[in-house]
Amino acid sequence: MAVITRRGFLEMVGALAVAAVGLGCSGRNQTAMVTPTPKGEMFSSLPWPYKKLDPDKVADLAYESYMKHHCMYGVFNAVVKSLAEKVGYPYTVFPTELAIYGKGGVVGWATLCGALNGAAMATYLVLPEKEADKVINELYAWYEYSELPNYIPKKPVKADLNPFPKSVANSPLCHVSVSNWCKASGYKAFSAERAERCGRLTADVAKKLTELINSVYDGSFVPKYSLDKRTMTCRGCHCKESALQNTRGKMVCWECHTKEGAKHIEDLEGHPKV
């Protein structure tokens, strides 16, 4: 007859509790297989273990996940479920449905793009803070300045357009990103075509994120994007260690704060051109 120690009992209860939380949040009635960790220790701190993933496979899963629960869940679920297959516990018991709140820039408020929101959360699961921040900075700048989407699904779900319309977001905000695509494509924000666009964009973000994290782990990460000159000019007066210091941020300023944007700051008396 096996004898279980007090410590062993507590570790077993802890593992079962984590599994129960995962099942409870996902709403699934099934038996969880909790993979034992080295020496029976729980992963109570970050970052968690990581193994390099296939970016294309993560992109495919992100597209599928978007069609189930939108953008933030799309990226986050794709990364976590891929690591659940590669690594096992604790990813196997993580309730990825947590990320559903990020849909449409947080339940439709069109703030931070859900794909970027999910990507940032996934990055902090697998990288220490300094490395994670570098990856997120690179991902967000890439998202702002790149013409997207590029991902082509094997079987389009919402709309099958060829070629598929692309646009440059010029912002990490859902509101701006979607509006710029609608302007470029001619389709409406609540159309099936726009939903297809965001599904493909979610896949693009998941793929890029996976490439960046992989590069950190194999030692080849080199940032390629930096803030553009106009944004740096604005920051020179308005951000940290500047004359005004009345705002903060890294996103493109001129997308909204120009004569072509929503706030015509150049019409203000005495404001320099940007």
pLDDT, tens digit (0-9, with 9 covering 90-100), for 173-187: 999 999 999 999 999
More confident residue, 230 or 58: 58
Instruction: Flag whether 59 is in a domain.
Output: yes
Residues near 211 by beta carbon (within 8 Å), at least 6 away in sequence? 55
- Element containing residue 216 per DSSP (H, E): helix 192-217
Q: Do residues 55 and 211 make contact, with C-beta atoms less than 8 angstroms apart?
A: yes
Same-domain check for residues 239 and 258:
yes
The answer to whether residue 27 scores a pLDDT higher than 50 is no
Residue 244 shares a structural domain with residue 150 = no
Instruction: Tell me: do 64 and 106 sit in the same domain.
Output: yes
Q: Are residues 97 and 171 in the same domain?
A: yes
Residue 222 covered by a domain = no
DSSP-assigned letter for residue 95:
-
What confidence score (pLDDT) does residue 43 get?
62
47 within a domain of the structure (yes/no): no
The total domain count for the chain is: 3
* Domain that residue 251 falls in: 227-274
Torsion of CA 123, 127, 91, 70, to 10 degrees: 0
Task: Tell me the C-alpha distance between 53 and 209, whole Å.
Answer: 10
Q: Are residues 110 and 154 in the same domain?
A: yes
Q: b or e along 35-45 (b: 16 or more beta carbons within 10 Å of the residue's beta carbon)? A: eeeeeeeeeee
Stretch 35-53: mean pLDDT: 73
Residues 263 and 238 grouped into a single domain: yes
Specify whether 80 is located in the same domain as 208.
Answer: yes
The answer as to whether 143 is a domain residue is yes
Q: Taking all residues of the chain, what is their mean pLDDT, rounded to a whole number?
A: 84
pLDDT at 256: 77
Q: Are 149 and 200 in contact (CB under 8 A)?
A: yes
Bridge partners, residue 147, by sequence = 168
Alpha-carbon radius of gyration of the chain: 21
Domain contains 46: no
57-64: average pLDDT? 98
pLDDT band at 257; cut points 50, 70, 90:
confident
Specify the higher pLDDT residue, 265 or 168. Answer: 168
Tell me the mean pLDDT in the region 238-259: 78
Residue 144 and residue 115 in contact, taking contact as beta carbons nearer than 8 Å:
no
Domain's final residue, options 168, 195, 217: 217
| 96 and 25 in a common domain | no
- Taking the C-alpha atoms of residue 23 and residue 13, their distance in angstroms, rounded to an integer, is 15
- Per-residue pLDDT for 111 more than 70? yes
Residue 48 is assigned to a structural domain of this protein: no
Per-residue pLDDT for 253 more than 80? no
If asked whether residues 254 and 151 sit together in one domain, one would say no
Q: Is residue 138 part of a domain?
A: yes
Distance (Å, whole) CA 204 – CA 62: 9
List the one residue out of 171, 78, 172, 63 whose CA is nearest residue 125.
Answer: 78
Pick from 120, 103, 89, 81: nearest CA to 18: 89
CA distances from 52 to 77, 146, 158, 193 (A): 16, 24, 31, 33
Q: Are residues 62 and 185 in the same domain?
A: yes
Spatial distance between the Cα atoms of 112 and 102, rounded to a whole number of angstroms: 8
In a domain, 258, yes or no: yes
List C-alpha distances in Å: 131 to 72, 82, 139, 141, 218: 21, 21, 12, 16, 13
Same domain, 235 and 201: no
- Cα 158 from Cα 59, distance rounded (Å): 17
Band of pLDDT at residue 13, cut at 50, 70 and 90? very low
Instruction: Please check whether residues 157 and 189 belong to one and the same domain.
Output: yes
